[in-house]
Structure 1
Amino acid sequence: MPSLLMAQTATLTGTVRDARQPVPFASVAVRGTTLGTTADASGHFVLREVPPGTVVLQISAVGYSTLSKEVNVTESQTLELPLTLTATPAALNEVVVTGVSRATEIRRSPVPIATLSRREISLNANTNVIDAAVRGIPGLSAVTTGPNVSKPFIRGLGYNRVLTLYNGLRQEGQQWGDEHGVEVDGYDIERVEVVKGPASLLYGSDAVAGVVNLLPALPSGPEGRVGGEVLNEYQTNNGLIGNSLGLNYQKNGFQTSFRASHRLAHDYRNRVDGLVYNTGFRELTLTGMAGVRKSWGESHWYLTLYDNQQEIPDGSRDSLSRRFTRQVGEGVNDDIKNRPLVQDNELNDYAIAPLHQRIRHYRVFTKTRLLLGGGELHLLLGAQQNNREEYNHPTVPAQAGLALRLNTFTYDVRYHLPTWQGLGISLGSNGMGQQNRHQNATDFPIPNYDLLDAGGFMLLKKPLGKLELSGGLRYDTRLVTWSGFYVAPNTETGFEGQASAGTVGAKLQFPSFRKQYNGVSASLGGSYAASDKLTFRANLARGYRAPNIPEIGSNGLDPGAHIVYLGNREFTPEFSWQQDMGVLWHSATLDASVEVFHNYVQNFIYQGRLLGPDGQPVVIVPGNVTYQFQQSAARLYGLEASLNWRPAALPWLAFNNNLAFVNGQNADAARQREEGDAARYLPLIPPLRTRHELRATLPATDGRLRATYLRTTLDVSARQDRFYALDNTETATAGYALVGLGAGTTWTSRTGRPVAQLFVQVDNLFDTAYQAHLNRLKYFEYHAGSATGRSGIYNPGRNVSVKLVVPF
């Protein structure tokens, strides 16, 4: 029962229950703000510093539908709140903040948005947080290079077209590279929100395909007591060992948290290749936060440190035995066909091989929300540094081939004006400054560069009965500059190195460059609640993306990717026109949705192999292919659908299904005539994919076990015949089906407090041999044919994961 304890702000108290008993550790929050708390083991909560007026409480817990309750907070009233939750989740009622001007329910957003909770992440065996999101969100896929390197793609578009955020801060870490992933601690992520479609309106360039926002948890639990968890994980396929310690504390509005995580793994295994050489990794992350939450708003400071040593596979092997071989020489001294065999002890070793990359990422930022002038001011300021080194010289293991240091300073300011006659108005601006510099390196695929980026926007939202309209406009500008970049032989290293123009033997690899890019983004859409169960929504958006640095400036070898990239300084920005339409049905027993989209992209930039006058592929660096960026028109269309059924007669049973399909085609008629049918489709388009899950969650009893579940999953990927076939850049990929089994439970104390959570998952139960179409290792092959008839490297085989979480 809430009561008003202060004249200017209120303290709300109450107990969260289900039909039988209190719900421990339920989350209670005020919609549209970051005010929130967590109930204790008996379901009792205290929510302080609530401003007077009409607020909407959002009450949620794992395994229950989210409850929204409107409360009129005044000095003179005491309100009775029946905070009773209903079992089983209902994702369409979840409140999101990514991709919309204010907090809103997923089904009322005209822009397609999907979410994934930490509970769902924990159910699966993942080696990184992007793979976890891919499993749970249709329309999201990933280009992979081994088990710990995944780059998100949304509806067939990725790299600098998808903006990855960490708690709202854009992630900047050489996104153009193929061979490293997102520098975030997956154990620290409480929730993933994904915008599917142009989000340029809110974030500017690089969000033309969508946004992946990785949200860490804020402190929870009783005030004045240190809480947290210990997490341990083991996976059999690559021997992954993961350990994480999380701590949090809050009292009188002060909040702080800390997490330290460490993971290591040796080479992964499949039944075609055995143990795949040089796919192990070792990763350490530290995350700290301190902040305050008061009646005037809140402010939080974050500091993260990420250190990853990631081995670099190249796929070389003996042509007859198909055993992997190891590079020991360089240049003319590297006889690829007669490299020594890798020994078995090297494949099972947790030690990092000499040929590897090391990525260190440091991030500090602050998020502030102020109640100002009847509205809300949101401010985010951040700085981050990404150090990327690739050690690819077997004769000089300590010499980095690639060594880049990227410094990025980011700002984001937004003001949500007071609602006027139902009209919500948001104004904002965000941008960044970047400086990217080569360190002591021998390979220079891109120039040193400086970048300045800024944009401003206005968003409007207006409810008209059952119809809710929203739209906005944005303008962006980006300035990219670099000076002439010279390389010359370095007598100390024996390789080429960065040099001044007057150095003997110096050659100009990157002529100086200065160019400004500008773009306008816009969006108009709406949702119509035909009933409390049925919602229609549609959106039209114009997206903008400035060319990234490799696309305009690359001229060299990316050693980890084994590709020589050549850019085009004359490229113009990409502009997309995307139409989205969706139908959503939501009831106590059935959630269903169908989302269709069409996206036409002007000046689409993609990679194609460079051919010589004889029509044969150009080889600039032996053992590496040469790609040149090209620009054309492109068209993408497809759909996502889901059907989640919870039969009323069997409330403990859930049958979840989803489907995603995208077709990407070259829309330039002239280029089609020039290059033929082989260039009809775009590269890196995922095949038709479906996922099915049958989950049984045992009803709660008076015993010590809670949330006990059994599940079986089926992931099906269809054959991909629609691929970029020009110059054998891609090949067809066979379809496959993967079966998984899982089980888990929560052990509680006599008072109902969780003591330990256990998750067991078996993936690829039948050890199916398969190659995902977006797996880059599929093309890591040195021989025209093989004794087995199989080419390239296959995806991981059967994997058993055991995860234990002990909260305290």
Structure 2
Amino acid sequence: MSSFAQTTVTGTITDIDNNPLFGVEVYASDLHRGTITDEHGRYELTNLPNGSVKLSFSYLGFQTLTKKLNITGKPLVVNILLKESIYTIDEVIISTPFNKLQSENVMKVERMTAAALKRTGAPTLINGLASISGVSQISTGASIGKPVIRGLSGNRVLVYAQGVRLENQQFGDEHGLGISDEGIESIEVIKGPASLLYGSDALGGVIYINPEKFATANQSSFLFGQRYFSNTLGSNTSLGYKKSTDRWKFLARATANNHSDYKVPSGEKVTNTRFREQDFKLGLGYNSTNYSSEIRYNFNGSLLGITEGIGAQSNYTTPMEPYQQIDNHIFSMHNHFFFGNSKLDVDLGYLYNDRNEFEEEHGHDDHDDHDDDEDHDEHDEDHEGPALRMKLKTFNYNIKYHLARFSNEVDVIFGLQGMHQTNKNFGEELLIPDAKINDVGMFGTVNYSWNSSSIQAGIRFDNRSLMTEYHEVVHETEVHVFEALDKDYNSFTASLGYKFAPFKNTTIRINAATGFRAPNLAELTSNGVHHGTNRFELGNANLETEKNIQADLAIEYQTEHLELFVNAFHNTLNDYIYLSPTGAVEDGAPVYNYTQNNAKLYGGEIGFHLHPHPVDWLHLQSSYEMVIGKQSNGDYLPLIPANIIKNTLRTEFDIKNWLQNGYATLSLNSTFTQKNVSQFETNTSSYNLVDLGFGGAISLGELKFNGSLSITNLLDTNYINHLSRLKSDGILNSGRNIVLGVNFNI
């Protein structure tokens, strides 16, 4: 009978002067539910499971606190005192296995909230991610971007969305993540090998996208957001609804994102960089006294133009041919079973990626006397079937058992992860053959904490089996053959980390980890022109598994008004896979083949955050980021971001009763000349970009909303990012962009 007991936790949250705090968020991440304090600082959570439950208490301007409770079926009273914190808000990190606060975590993880992401003025999720220290993007215009973590990209960076591994043909540079920046709570970035936690493809790091939370218990709300982008004449509109009871939770969100061609500083538009995106999210949650479950579904459909340079000028948002149509479906289910002090997590995911490329021209024109609807109709009537169509279906699972505690200092987790994937071709062209992939991995990890120190260690074994089908593709007079393959790849990985505080206000984190990556289908099997890169690519069926060892050192010094940090890393890669030009030409394109060589990357980030007394509302932040990548023969690696200095001056203020939690920012980002280039790259010149931002919570009588205004590239500077895929054509990056946004929560 105790397993069905209505366990309740109540309490009062106050500051150091015993004043009650209104609006403090009390959240149980394992249960996907929470509440907020009332005007008397009181909170209540019911139907909690027996055993160990972690609650976090967070409030703007105060240090976040976590507390582990031992629930036994009897009501608990837990009163909390929160201390003020001017310089930081400590957050619970979800991407690491023990879900600790950032200050308690052995690994250094970068975290960015959805609100901070939108303040960057970025039109897409990946554009905003590039503002995180150590993260950049390989871009094609404003719509397409692939994440780069400390110089590693493509299949070396793993993306998680809704708690499941994102699979969307990520080997290709010419399409983006397929994830909207609406309907997310925050983003966490693990910089360095995370194969222990996530398996193959996490060799370079992980981007973990946390979905938005459900409404607090017994609350409901309507959400509306609108953003306007001047450079692309773009519009992002989002509508949402949330409702929660003590046991059930529901949310829904629909988003439409439309942009015309982006404009360079000269005023010309880069033809067919336009894109359209529709996104729909659903969530349903349930919790009882010994079980919690969360089901989410996300559909993302996008039309992405593929530019061939600056040509016809228009304001259309419907892409011309060539273009891509990509539909992503993500279904996830997260279950938590509580057994006293132990817990079982079962996460299941199903993903369906339908990728279509339309390449032929059919007399489509871009006359200015047609509106968008007419253009869309003509587009639908003219195009034939896709030249390339691939359907990728992926089922993955992640099972973790948290052992009953040996003591309050020791946490132990054993896990089983896997993936079953099929790829099918339906178009005339082939990039990769029909294939089946099966992954299975087993791991164990332990965390031991005492005083202000922690040690975390783990070991893992993985197996990947890959089978492809035989194909012959006739192209004019040539026959391109895709041989059938049957491959198996195995790997052990391990990690060891130590966090300690040798001096007052100082924290040092030392981590060493190994990672691995099995060759992807493109690297093994390519045999034809890859139109997105204008290369004839030849695969190599004899490629070995990539393996690396990375050492990280993170030093932080924090006082009430100053924060200093130094992050350094050295990454040794064995059998690094890369494309190399052969000098031959086939089907009118230069031939590149996949080969391997040992390599290394090293560098880091250094910076400070100053908020001097007594002007605590003033913040000055500055950081320097550096990455160098070389092969063992001395040649530089391709697609390594240039060194950059980022400076931001931010003020925080209130204006009477009509603007609360206001902010204003001025940023100067100085990118250095990139001279360390590979054999098929060219140098990239330095440049400086100035950005402005302003916003806050606005009250106009009974009308309340959050408003923001940001201006990127304020001075309309001519520049080309080294990782822009349009660099070889001399096409500039985007000019000035004014972004106006409003968000209502009713």
- The answer to whether the 8 Å contact 2:357/2:389 transfers is yes
d(CA) in 1 for partners of 2:386, 2:39: 53
Unmatched 5+ residue regions in structure 2?
363-381
1:254 matched to 2:221? The reply is: no
The 8 Å contact of residues 16 and 26 in structure 1, kept in 2 or not, is answered as no
- CA distance 1:16–1:227, shift in 2 (3 Å): farther
Alignment partners' CA distance in 1, 2:38 and 2:424: 50
Cα displacement (A) at 1:185:
1.8
Aligned to 2:576: 604
Q: Report if aligned partners of 1:154, 1:196 keep a CA contact under 8 Å in 2.
A: yes
Higher strand share: 2
Q: Which structure 1 residue ranges, 5 or more long, are not aligned?
A: 1-5, 316-323, 326-341, 490-495, 497-504, 612-617, 673-679, 782-791
Matched, 1:723 2:721: no
Alignment partner, residue 807 of structure 1: 745
* TM superposition shift of 1:355: 1.9
Which amino acid in structure 1 is aligned with residue 275 of structure 2?
Answer: F
What amino acid maps onto 1:761 in structure 2?
Answer: S
Give the corresponding residue for 2:236: 242
CA contact (8 A) 2:31 2:292 kept: no
Measure the CA separation in 2 of the matches of 1:116 and 1:559: 35
For 2:717, the aligned partner's letter is: T
Aligned residues, how many?
723
Q: 1:89 to 1:171 in 2, by over 3 A?
A: farther
Aligned 8 A contact 2:599 2:629 in 1? yes
Contact kept, 8 Å, 2:51 with 2:340, in 1: the verdict is no
Match of 2:652 in 1: 697
SS at match of 1:557: strand
Secondary structure of the structure 2 residue equivalent to 1:104? coil
Q: Match for residue 551 of structure 1?
A: 523
SS in structure 2 opposite 1:247? strand
Shift of 1:34: 4.3
What residue is the counterpart of 2:549 in the other structure?
Answer: 577
Matched, 1:745 2:696: yes
Report how far residue 219 of structure 1 moved: 1.3
Q: Identify which range, 544-553 or 105-114, moves more after superposition.
A: 105-114
Contact 1:746–1:754, Cα closer than 8 Å, also in 2: no
Work out the percentage of aligned pairs sharing the same amino acid: 29
Per-residue CA distance 1:382-421 (angstroms, 9 max, x = gap): 1111011111111473232221110111111001112213
Query: Which residue in 2 is equivalent to 1:28?
Result: 26
Task: Work out the CA distance in 2 between the residues paired with 1:72 and 1:561.
Answer: 56
Give the alignment partner of residue 474 of structure 1, picking from 446, 460, 479: 460
- Shift in Å, 1:314: 2.0
Residues 274-314 of structure 1: per-residue CA shift (max 9 Å, x gap):
11111000100100011112221310111111110010012
TM-superposed deviation, 1:376:
1.2
- Return the match for 2:114 from 114, 118, 124: 118
Q: Secondary structure at the match of 2:586?
A: coil
- Judged with a 3 Å threshold, the aligned counterparts in structure 2 of structure 1 residues 801 and 248 are, in CA distance, closer, same or farther, namely same
Compute the displacement of 1:794 (Å).
0.7
How many Å apart are 1:30 and its aligned residue? Answer: 4.1
| 2:144 aligned partner | 149
Residue among 707, 721, 732 paired with 1:758: 707
State yes or no: 1:401 paired with 2:397: no
Q: Name the CA distance, whole Å, in 1 between partners of 2:165 and 2:24.
A: 30
Farther off after superposition, 48-57 or 733-742: 48-57
Matched, 1:565 2:559: no
Q: Deviations over 1:224-270 (max 9, x none)?
A: x4313100000101111010011111002101100000010000011
- Contact kept, 8 Å, 2:34 with 2:217, in 1: the verdict is no
- 2:300 equivalent to 1:306: yes
CA distance in 2, matches of 1:742, 1:506: 55
- Is this contact kept in 1: 2:13–2:42, CA < 8 A? yes
Q: 1:219 aligns with which of 201, 208, 214?
A: 214
Q: Secondary structure at the match of 2:227?
A: strand
Letter of the 1:620 partner, please give it. E
Q: Are residues 249 and 46 of structure 1, via their aligned partners in 2, closer, same or farther at CA, if it must alter by over 3 Å?
A: same
Q: 1:774 aligns with which of 723, 727, 736?
A: 723
8 Å contact from structure 1 (residues 29, 58) kept in 2: yes
Asked if 1:620 corresponds to 2:592, the answer is no
Partner SS for 1:131: helix
Helix, strand or coil at the partner of 1:130: helix
In structure 2, the residue matched to 1:65 is: 63
Task: Return the alpha-carbon distance in structure 2 between the equivalents of residues 12 and 40 of structure 1.
Answer: 12
| 8 Å contact from structure 1 (residues 62, 89) kept in 2 | no
Contact 2:8 2:75 in 1 (8 A): no
* Distance in structure 2 (CA, Å) of the matches to 1:47 and 1:516: 49
Change (3 A) 1:259 1:800: same
Q: Aligned partner of 1:721: which letter?
A: K
SS across alignment from 1:95: coil
Does structure 2 conserve the Cα–Cα contact (< 8 Å) formed by 1:402 and 1:559? no
How is 1:608-687 mapped onto 2 (pairs within 5 angstroms)? Answer: 608-611=580-583, 618-622=584-588, 624-667=589-632, 669=633, 672=634, 680-687=635-642
User: Conserved in 2, the CA contact under 8 Å of 1:111 and 1:580?
Assistant: no
TM-score computed with the length of structure 2 as normaliser: 0.92
Give CA deviations for 1:612-637 in whole Å, capped at 9, x if unaligned: xxxxxx22132x44321110000000
SS in 2 for 1:138: coil
Q: Residue 582 and residue 434 in structure 1: after superposition, are their counterparts in 2 closer, same or farther (change >3 A)?
A: same
How far is 1:561 from its partner?
A: 2.7
Q: Secondary structure at the match of 2:639?
A: coil
Given residue 609 of structure 1, which amino acid in structure 2 is its aligned partner? Answer: P
Q: Distance in 2 between matches of 1:251 and 1:233?
A: 31
Separation of aligned partners in 1, 2:237 and 2:700:
24
**Contact 2:114/2:181 (8 A) holds in 1:** no
- Secondary structure of the residue aligned to 2:182 is helix
| 1:709 matched residue in structure 2 | 663
Q: Is the 8 A contact 1:744 1:759 kept in 2?
A: yes
Distance 1:65 1:508, change over 3 A: same
- Residue 683 of structure 1 aligns with an amino acid whose one-letter code is P
Partner residue in 1 for 2:412? 425
Q: Does 1:95 align with 2:92?
A: yes
Indicate how the Cα distance of structure 1 residues 73 and 267 shifts in structure 2: closer, same or farther if over 3 A, else same. same
Shift in alpha-carbon separation, 1:261–1:706, aligned structure 2, 3 A: same
Work out whether 1:349 is the aligned partner of 2:316: yes
When the two structures are superposed, what TM-score results if normalisation uses the length of structure 1?
0.85
CA contact (8 A) 2:392 2:421 kept: yes
